[in-house]
Structures are given as structure tokens and as C-alpha cells.
Structure 1
């Protein structure tokens, strides 16, 4: 995990897991501003439409359940089938405070055990049980939703992280189902240039190094 400040420390966990590649195998890329990050989710219309209308998640949205956010538009399209999968017909762009994402990553654990990152499997399991967020790295996708050789972040939020995501970090919610359909239509028509031009611009997200006061976790591996 890197800081936006020149010469800042790089997380040793990130350094151990990354291998030379372009882009890095494990890197957070997102549509963002200096203070916000856009993540994507897909829901059935009974949840997604009120959320976009009101700019907040409705009471039907369960704050005590784990929710997964994705900063990659194309990975979201892979997951929801361009908004055609049952229960994922409404695609949302959720703009959240960057500080919220930073908090979640600082308190996250990897969703799976990695030899060399964790001292042992038992230590990882204990950490996972108490972590309010978990990180999963899945292959990034191209316009045809085929896997690429580098990874995209999925971030699972539960407990305190889920509640803060819904009630504190979320700044705006937009229904981008029409955009998903536009991009998909362009891909199906063979107009890849238009499809690519419609995609949200996602750039690497530099984040502060973990605080020495916190236990070393693996959110940015």
C-alpha cells in the first residue's frame, strides 16, 4: 500500500505479493477524486431503485450482512452479466469517502490464507474472524469479460464496516444500468472503440501505509 506522498513507505505485504508486471498483479484501480472513490454493486430493483432515488440504502438493505463492493466497472459487469442476472438487474455506482475505504483496508484481512503473508493458517483464521472487512483479488476483465493476467479488488464489508459504508461513507448513489447496457450493446455490435470510450476512467489508487499502531494485516496484498 503506497502513500500519495513521494518517498513514502510501501507496505511490506504489498511488496511480497506483487510480482513485476504492468500493471502490478495486485493493484487497486478506481474512478476517483481526491477525496472520493466510486465502487459498484448490483441489486434487484426493489433495493437498487430506491437507493439511487434517495441516495442512500433503504431499510430493506441489511446492515448486519456482508456486502461486497467492487471498484472495477468491468469486474462488476462480469459479476452481474451486464445487469441481466436475476437479482442483479440494477447496477449502482456508489461514491464513497476515500477515508472510509482507507479505514476498511486498514482493518481488512485477506479472504484466503497465503503462505508467506500469514505466519500460519491458524493465525489467519483468527484474524479473519475478527476483521470487519475482507479482501479478495480476482482476475480483472476485458470488454469481452475474459480474465486478464492481473487482479481486481473485491472488498467485503461486515459488522461495523457494513454499517459505516451505508450510513457514513456513502456520499451518492447512481443507477448506471443504462450505461451498462450501452457498453454491452457496443461490445455486441463490435464497436470496441465506442465501448472503451464509455467506460469510467479508473486509475491506480495510492493509499497511506498502515499505521505502526495497528496489527499488520493483508488488505493490499
Structure 2
């Protein structure tokens, strides 16, 4: 339920509404408007390539080597973004914060980025879309990208003073997600309403389980 509702304080209760899709309570790290269905990739690791394997110390002997290493990272990151663009990927959903070089090339190649998604949000999106996170690095970063979801829309949404992302997916299951926007004069009222609704939904869920049995 936590991923399927958002609370907005300072508005009348009558302003509450239900929206199709999900509300991600963070702003775009990069926003490149695009029409139609959006091919979407989920990632759970930084897209900026590491200079050394985890646990291995990387040492440089000179400023020249250091700058050469940074250029290699930039070229590798750009190559990945070019590959995403050529694969018609328009949206990256990331559970980790991406480096500035990733955001720079994402904007350059027309790929929107939403980062710092929670594990619960990622799990819900995986359940809705049936896809697994994409692992870009390995022997061949230019391999075919098959782990993609389809977002039917993805756009900014202002809830009170907070900028959010409103996104809808083509679902592979019977579950068609909708998000409840709870409005109230203060946070405490919204919390009470959210708790009451969650309790009601839990009761209905248990009731339907008994009927199915």
C-alpha cells in the first residue's frame, strides 16, 4: 500500500483522487520528453564503469594516467548510452544514484532517468512488468537488450510543492496499478486516512482469500 498512495498536506480532503499508474516520489534526474510507449530499463548498479573490480585498489602514477582513466570512463559511459539510444530505450529507472557523467550522457542521448528508487518500488515494477534489472557491463556492453519494460506514459507531476514522477506500465498480470492521492489539511489527517484505508484493503484482501478457498 505504501507504494500505491501519496499524501499531500495543505489541500482539502475533497481534492483526493485516484490516478492510473504509479507515483514515484522523486524528481527526474534527467527528463527528455517523448511521446508514445517508452522502452524502459531497470538498473540496480551504477552505470559509470568502475576502474577496478570491487575490493581491488586502483593506483595511478601520474596526473596523465588519471586523466586518461577519466576519459576511458567517459567513453565507456557514452558508448553505453549510445547503445541504449540505438535500442530505442527512452527511460532508465535506477535503484542507485547515478554519477553526473551518466546523467550528462543520458540527457545528450535523449534518455530520461529516475534514480534512488526504493527496493519496494523496484520489486513492484518488476512484478507489474515481468522484467528483471539490466546488467550492462561484462564482456560485451553492446549485446542485445532484452530486459525492457514498456511505459505507456512517464511525466512530471507536482503534488503540493513536491515534484514527482507519474508513470504507467503495460502490465503482464491481472494487476493494473493505480495510485491514491490523499489530500488533507495536515500530515496527521493524511496518516489517519491512509491507515484506515490500508486496514480496509487488508480486510477485503482476507475476505477474498476466504472466498477463493
Same fold per superposition (TM over 0.5) = no
TM bracket (short chain): under 0.3
Q: TM-score scaled to structure 2, two decimals?
A: 0.26
Which structure's CA Rg is the greater one? 2
TM-score under structure 1 length normalisation: 0.26
